[in-house]
Amino acid sequence: MGFRIVKLPDIGEGVAEAEVSAWHVKVGDVVREDQPLADVMTDKATVEIPSPVSGTVAALGAEAGQMLAVGAELVRLEIEGGEAAPASAPDSGVAVAPEVATAQDAAAGKPVAALVPAADGLEPAQPAPKPAEAAKPVEPPKARTPAAPAPRPAAAAPSSGPPRPPGEKPVASPAVRRRALEAGIDLRQVRGTGPAGRIGHDDLDAFLNAPPEDAAPAPAGRAARTAVEEIKVIGLRRRIAQRMADAKRRVAHFSYVEEVDVTAVEELRAALNQRHGASRPKLTLIPFLVQALVRALPDFPQMNAHYDDEAEVIHRHAGVHVGIATQTPSGLMVPVLRHAETRDLWNSATEVRRLAEAARNGLAARDELSGSTITITSLGALGGIVTTPVINRPEVAIIGVNKQVMRPVWRDGAFVPRLTMNLSASFDHRVVDGYDAALFVQALKSLLETPATLFMEA
């Protein structure tokens, strides 16, 4: 028997480390060649690592959510034939099972400590005493009578009124006082069960967990829910958290909100869907907003840009690569509609739909999830009245679509019902001035309110 070390491969694009986002095997599993071992996630995409050989999983190199450097040991497989992994290999953080380590030491000619059963598994047996030590007489241990555990003081029965006379100061240690201060608790209201009414940590816990004395009893069948679920933040969720925190920490956000009359564009969208619904994909507002961006960005090139704040360089892009923020079962992803300036309304709708489905099904390619130059985010009917979207760094602008509302609007001397929607845009104030941001959003507003201009040649 031997061991085969599966290392984290070089995934490319200068990736130096990756996160183990999910394991498909555990220690003791028998795996086949090409069977998936684990999913690892980089800034670009999630990659599945297959097994190069058949064997038995002897050890895993990391827990789910842990970062590994390229070349680090990912999985240790026990295989038929071959040579055992050298015991003197440098430590790479791989957790090796005790029986595996013992086999390695034996193969290397090192003394091996026997394993004896313990209450929680196996533990090394104590080494045999040296001859000189064995000759010394050993006194038998004196019998000791186990001391009876001290009874804990019974909790004081709840009663109305303060737990001590007015003006009497509570007795408690500095640690208990600090906990009470952090929890906003007046120690004068806490009953102490220690000597002289001293308040201990148990008394503080009992006070925190006890319901108020004047609280009405819970209705039948409505017991208090006290369970706390602990969820480790790993994989895509951790990547999203890191990117959002990085964007808020490094980007000077400011937002600009404008109300848009979308009555005309919605009438056009409904008419086109009714006319071509059987032969073409259903149109949403997103393809119309994409067309508006394509029309407006040539006059505002500073919006279609990346800002490298480390090199202090702005990269303005001629091509319009629109990120479409998409909610997936794993979290928020941003597939990219590339070269929107070359697409018409229907082609944009088809590609947006394909990208969204690929992202939700976990089938989006790496290059489909990077390279956007400006992003659109929308919650559809849940969009609320106003949002303040977070910029998809290193971009400098993001456009948020909010829900549509029918409002009375004063037009031609009378109130008329009009369908309105707010555009909520955020910008990087290090690159974009407020005046230019306002002009840009006003240009989008004008294009959407007169949708015929979206199809006119400049």
Q: Residues of 20-54 as b/e, b for ≥16 C-beta within 10 angstroms?
A: bbbbebeeeeebeeeeebbbbbbebbbbebebeee
Residue 377 CA to its chain's centroid (Å): 18
Q: What angle do CA 405, 406, 412 make, to 5 degrees?
A: 130
What CA–CA distances, in Å, run from 61 to 75, 96, 186? 6, 8, 49
Distance between CA atoms of residues 264 and 452, nearest Å: 9
What CA–CA distances, in Å, run from 337 to 210, 272, 317, 372, 422? 56, 22, 14, 8, 23
Residue carrying the six token digits 């040991």: 73
Q: What H or E segment, with its residue span, contains residue 328?
A: strand 326-328
Catalytic residue among 24, 253, 317, 429: 429
Q: What is the DSSP string of 97-156?
A: -HHHHHHHHHHTT-----EEEETTEEEEPPPPPPHHHHHS--PPPPP-PPPPPPPPPPPP
**433 belongs to the catalytic site:** yes
Return the closest-CA partner of residue 423 out of 302, 288, 286, 260: 260
Catalytic residue among 299, 308, 367, 433: 433
* Residues designated as active site: 429, 433
